[in-house]
Amino acid sequence: MLRWVRQQLGFDPPHQSDTRTIYIANRFPQRGHYVPQKFADNRIISSKYTVWNFVPKNLFEQFRRVANFYFLIIFLVQLMIDTPTSPITSGLPLFFVITVTAIKQGYEDWLRHKADNEVNGAPVYVVRSGGLVKTRSKNIRVGDIVRVAKDETFPVDLVLLSSDRVDGSCHVTTASLDGETNLKTHVAVPETAVLQSVANLDKLVAVIECQQPEADLYRFVGRITISQQTEEIVRPLGPESLLLRGARLKNTKEIFGVAVYTGMETKMALNYKSKSQKRSAVEKSMNSFLIIYLIILLFEAILSTILKYAWQAEEKWDEPWYNEKTEHERNSSKILRFISDFLAFLVLYNFIIPISLYVTVEMQKFLGSFFIGWDLDLYHEETNQRAQVNTSDLNEELGQVEYVFTDKTGTLTENEMQFRECSINGRKYQEVNGKLTPEGFSEDSPDGNIHSLMKEEELFLKAVCLCHTVQINADQTDGADGPWHANGIASPLEYYASSPDEKALVEAASRVGVVFTGTTGDSMEVKSLGKPERYKLLHVLEFDPNRRRMSVIVESPSGEKLLFTKGAESSILPRSKSGEIDKTRIHVDEFALKGLRTLCIAYRRFTPEEYQEIGKRLHEARTALQQREERLADVFNFIERDLELLGATGVEDKLQDKVQETIEALRLAGIKVWVLTGDKHETAVSVSLSCGHFHRTMNILELVQHKSDSTCAEQLRQLAKRIKEDHVIQHGLVVDGTSLSLALREHEKLFMEVCKNCSAVLCCRMAPLQKAKVVRLLKTSPEKPITLAIGDGANDVSMIQEAHVGIGIMGKEGRQAVRNSDYAIARFKFLSKLLFVHGHFYYIRIATVVQYFFYKNVCFITPQFLYQFFCLFSQQTLYDSVYLTLYNICFTSLPVLIYSLFEQHVHPHVLQSKPVLYRDISKNAHLGFKPFLYWTILGFFHAFVFFYGSYLLMGEDTSLLGNGQLTEAGSGINCLDSMCCFSDGETACTSVRRMLERLMGRCSPTRVNRCGISLNSLCCRRFSYKLEPDEPAAIDV
């Protein structure tokens, strides 16, 4: 318990080292003094509160808001001192707001508790004491061996020990983690893969050393030491051995794995931590207005207090007969009395601060966000996807966007790749009717040229079929005849791939005669020209963004060791020493000008000595626990050199529907569009021209291929000069990743000046962090424009989180972008309605609500301030306590809430068809200082009209009796205020005095002579006054 408390306070972190040691089946060493490491249990906790801490924690969070804390102070002041209004007037609205918010948050947390209990109580099977034991998920401990069956989700992060397959492999889908629906293959180390029974696993003696938990889904560094008789075998463990919690087992009967990360230390739980809170411009304006109104409140309270003491400086007003001071009050300190009176006035005027503003705005945002999901115009029928709202706090920000940063692939394009062209050994080819046809060669034969592939062409296609991570539907590879039919005719295969490029290339190769037919154990099977071939897969050099390439090392049927590599031309061509390098480079540029995505393919043959050296280096790097990534990168660079270039591929990615119209609409709305992509320069420019981001008449400026600060700075100065000289025409800027790094290093201001003077900006060859850096650079510029980032892949997450508003596209690159976004839509074209219609409506509605709340509170409380001039600043309230209480929380909140949900000042079709209307609300136009001043002055004006209008309507000769009837001057009482006037030495009847005090409170003694009746008539038993038709002729007093 003490250790837990120390961990919560941060004095005793649970992980003292960079690695953790896990004894499989919790078989701890018997010799020596061993203290087991402490690990988290397997409970998932997504809730914020418990039964014990809900009240204090929720109250603390709510009173962090300025308005709530302010009203709490006012309520406490009303309890401590004698104030003109009841504590209920402040306490009840505060209680209402706090209670409503607490109920909402409590209900949401109860749902989270309910979901947690379902997950934590799920049944699982664990190997203990030589058998399978059924237990609950929350009872799994680190080191337990867990069995998972087909189509079940993994309850913890497991290191795969064995499966029902001989090679110890299994297939999983991580759709719930990253949205990728393709099947991923995971493999066990050979020494544990053979342990397929519970009895054998129970005898396993092994230790796993791995890194401490981290959020990266694709990174795992560890090693397993297996004790077999007298020797110890060490094997590396990587991401291919780790089965993540939340993933699902597919096409595999069952697997056994050892738990390494449990509960809140699993990668899934670490990835579900809340993002940093984004605040909208409207919320910031609200806080500014609140401070201004607090200043007005303090001014009114101080002025009233000063005027009270100035009025009471005259002795006759210091202590009137109806309000005599007590002895304690006479002897109390003047400073304390001044403070007490100031606080009393503060309480009297406190309703100028709208306590219900926050709760009304929250309800408006929460309820209003449903309209986005319900909008059928944002529904994509083909994929059955509707718009999704992940946060409702930024609805009105959709109406304030000034810059849009968009990814290209999958956002502007479909991310559905189609093979178009390739270059093999310096010659261009196209696919025509399932045939690989050289450029300029027309083949009309229906038989095609499948059997006439040359050696270079066949090797190129084999490289395409072997260098990938494509999977085949297992149902197609489990038949009796294996992956192909006995007659040699290929069955139609269904490929799964995390990269659409890879899938398109493998499918294209299969159409022209070289078919990838699947993997069996550590072998990859290819059918070349109808002849099956089996290649042994020795090593996979995984793709990473820094290398921009991937490789496989295979053993051919003849026993030759081959390396096949594919990647961006910038990472392949410099490493090639032979092949048609110059011709291929020209072809790659031509493909890029057509808007095709390009990849270069190369290979290398190893001698037995070279392969032995490579295997040794790879094993050392992969078993290292420290700096494994750096060591692997060095080894990969050592292997991927002296390549022989085979050729290049060109794959087309079609533009999404109505992309050009959407970009043009954004431009008409005054929104600047920046495209940030990882594609090469020529491809990105071609797509920008085709989608309308760049116009054909636009002057394209380039800042590319700079290697030094000096050349980059000089080019920036020349660009700035050109823009000033040709200020009449529009300019577009193209920047690549390396030049951008140089520009941002020391020439940030000059770079931003050039960018802001360009109508469109295209950044190519961008790393994910560079995308976020560009967004941050513009977001923090002196103008502080509102930014929006939109993308569909994991490489766009940092950009989406950095922008004011992040939008994820439900594309084919997983769901990382959608998970980390504020809003998610199925297609880029939906962005126009999201901004021009929903953003416009949300902003107009919320701006009106905020201004109205301040306006109506000025109207409400200013008459209270004016009334003090007529009651000698005696802190008398003008309103009944019930009215004070219900005014904010009911009478004026509900009508404007309905308005804020359904108001459409312009028809949605007009807003979408005329994007220029979006400019009318840009730069927070409706919540600037001028509109705020207008609403405030309007509020004061109406307050004066209400107060003095009522005062003049009544007049001095017309008074309102306690029963609501009017008494007019005439044959009866000339003026009712004369009834409270008394001559020196005389006393009126007690009953009359009570009536008069109730009616008027007090009058000026100087008006005694104006009385139209004698004092005797006041004290008599009967007197007459002007009657209503249905009243008696006399009244007893």
What is the C-alpha to C-alpha distance for residues 969 and 975, in angstroms, rounded to an integer?
A: 6
Query: Regarding beta strands 145-149 and 254-261, do their DSSP bridges make them parallel or antiparallel, or are they unpaired?
Result: antiparallel
What is the C-alpha to C-alpha distance for residues 276 and 739, in angstroms, rounded to an integer?
A: 30
Alpha helix stretches (DSSP H) within 512-550: none
What is the C-alpha to C-alpha distance for residues 345 and 350, in angstroms, rounded to an integer?
A: 8
User: In the chain, what are the helix, strand and coil shares in percent, each to the nearest 5?
Assistant: 45, 20, 35
Angle at which helix 281-311 crosses helix 66-80, to 10 degrees, equals: 30
Can you spell out the DSSP letters for 391-421?
-STTGGGGGS--EEEE-STTTTEEEEEEEEE
Query: Regarding beta strands 413-424 and 427-432, do their DSSP bridges make them parallel or antiparallel, or are they unpaired?
Result: antiparallel
Closest alpha carbon to 285 in 846, 928, 849: 928
∠ CA 487-489-490, rounded to 5°: 135
Here the tokens at position 605 are 């043959």
Here the tokens at position 443 are 């083949």
Q: Taking every pair of C-alpha atoms in the chain, what is the biggest distance, in angstroms?
A: 134
Element (H, E) at 39: none
Element (H, E) at 998: helix 990-999
Angle at which helix 334-349 crosses helix 840-867, to 10 degrees, equals: 140
Is the Cβ–Cβ distance between 703 and 743 less than 8 Å? Answer: yes
Closest alpha carbon to 124 in 105, 141, 107: 141
Here the tokens at position 375 are 């909008």
Is the Cβ–Cβ distance between 362 and 100 less than 8 Å? Answer: no
Burial string for 368-377 (b: 16+ CB within 10 Å, else e) reads bbebbeebee
Query: Regarding beta strands 672-676 and 403-406, do their DSSP bridges make them parallel or antiparallel, or are they unpaired?
Result: parallel
What is the C-alpha to C-alpha distance for residues 918 and 902, in angstroms, rounded to an integer?
A: 19
Neighbours of 951 (CB within 10 A): 14
In 586-693, DSSP assigns E strands to 596-606, 643-655, 672-676
Here the tokens at position 785 are 């424009």
Burial string for 392-420 (b: 16+ CB within 10 Å, else e) reads bbbbbbbbbbbbbbbbbbbbbbbbebebb
What is the C-alpha to C-alpha distance for residues 591 and 1025, in angstroms, rounded to an integer?
A: 104
For the chain, the straight-line distance linking the first and the last C-alpha, in angstroms and rounded, comes to 78
Here the tokens at position 811 are 């594309």
**Residues with catalytic roles:** 407
Alpha helix stretches (DSSP H) within 888-957: 893-902, 908-913, 929-954
Can you spell out the DSSP letters for 483-512?
TS-TTSPPPPP-EE-SSHHHHHHHHHHHHT
Hey, is 876 helix, strand or coil? coil
What is the C-alpha to C-alpha distance for residues 643 and 636, in angstroms, rounded to an integer?
A: 13
If you count them, how many residues does the chain have?
1037
Can you spell out the DSSP letters for 323-388?
SPPPHHHHHS-HHHHHHHHHHHHHHHHGGGS-TTHHHHHHHHHHHHTHHHHH-GGG-BTTTTB--E
Residue 264: partners with Cβ closer than 8 Å, 6 or more residues away? 40, 43, 44, 45, 270
830: DSSP letter? G
